[in-house]
Amino acid sequence: AYFNRPNLDLAGFTNVNYDVQHLHEDGVGNDDRNFFELGPLDLFITSEIADDVSALAEVLFEFEDGGESAVDVERLLLKWSPLQEFNASVGRVHTPVGYWNIRYHHAAFLYTTVERPLVFMFEDDGGILPVHTIGLELAGTFDTDPGLFQYMFDVGNGRGITTDAIQLVDDLNDSKRVSLMLAARPFAAEGLQVGANILWDEIPPNPAVVGREDHIYELISGAHFVYEAEPFEILVEEQVVRHQEHGDAHYSHGGYAQLAYAIGAWKPYYRFDWLGISKGATFYAGLPGVEDTQQHTFGIRFDWRTFVALKLEARLRDSKTFHSTDGVAQVSFGF
């Protein structure tokens, strides 16, 4: 039978970087490198199936050191939006842990900076947070006299046995991850948003790792303060991760403060990132780069064309076991 299929809208984003790095690793020595880097090809596919039903797929083509490429479906969802106050999505979505993870996705063009904050790095890039969820999301916005109030509630598969194990088709311990984020935008202060989030999960054991014979009970709580009204951009977030294991509670945390000021097409910016990782948190043990860290980022973004941005950035990173200095030039664009 023939039928009228819904239209598909396709948008793409990618970036090219030139990176100059100086790394000093304790007990190893110095390493200097410079290289061009082809960023991931990010495809946004959207479709309006009906007046109140839509679909979205975000497909990422990532390029690896040996010349190979890999395909990741980062988001894939069906959304029902009968009311502004209520909509429901099912599929793979971004977990409502903080402002950045909901506001920005995988395209570097969308960021003022070259990279995401350390605390919101993706799971397969050494991130400490579960930034993706597979399950059901309920969300909505209430328009009241004081301002707009938003909620996002997710229930889905929990973490796997490692930080980068996203359980797409199974849930090892049948315990579902639950998360909630609330945010407010007061009309009296245009551009201001404040919010908080909380997440609960039960991480399954990993018998292959000493000390991981039992479940880990995870509680993540965070808050954000955002002010985005031209020419200002002020983003401040903090996330605290509590891991209960072997009868003990271990606290890790991370956050950032980002400031930017637009001058026409130019936007100079500064960001301070921090991570504090508990020595007793076995879930993070051995992860490269996941350790006590402070990072200063200085840069400037120039919107050369509507969908082309040029960025120049310097990063100074001071971690527990290594120190690095990076200079990056980036061309990011959408098409």
pLDDT at 70 over 60: yes
Distances (CA, A) of 44 to 11, 59, 110, 204: 5, 7, 13, 33
Say which range, 46-55, 64-73, 196-205, has the weakest mean pLDDT.
64-73
300: which strand partners? 268, 312
Q: What is d(CA 334, CA 53) in angstroms, rounded to the nearest whole number?
A: 26
DSSP state of 282: G
Average pLDDT on 142-164 reads: 95
Q: What is the pTM of this model?
A: 0.94
Query: How many residues does the structure list for the chain?
Result: 335
Confidence of residue 287 (pLDDT cuts 50, 70, 90): confident
- Average pLDDT (271-292) is 93
* Residue 2: pLDDT band with limits 50, 70, 90: low
Closest CA to 58 of 95, 15, 14, 105: 105
pLDDT in tens, 164-208: 888 888 888 888 999 999 999 999 999 999 999 999 999 999 988
Query: How much of the chain, in percent, has pLDDT values that exceed 90?
Result: 85
| Chain segment 218-274, per-residue pLDDT in tens | 999 999 999 999 999 999 999 999 999 988 999 999 999 999 999 999 999 999 999
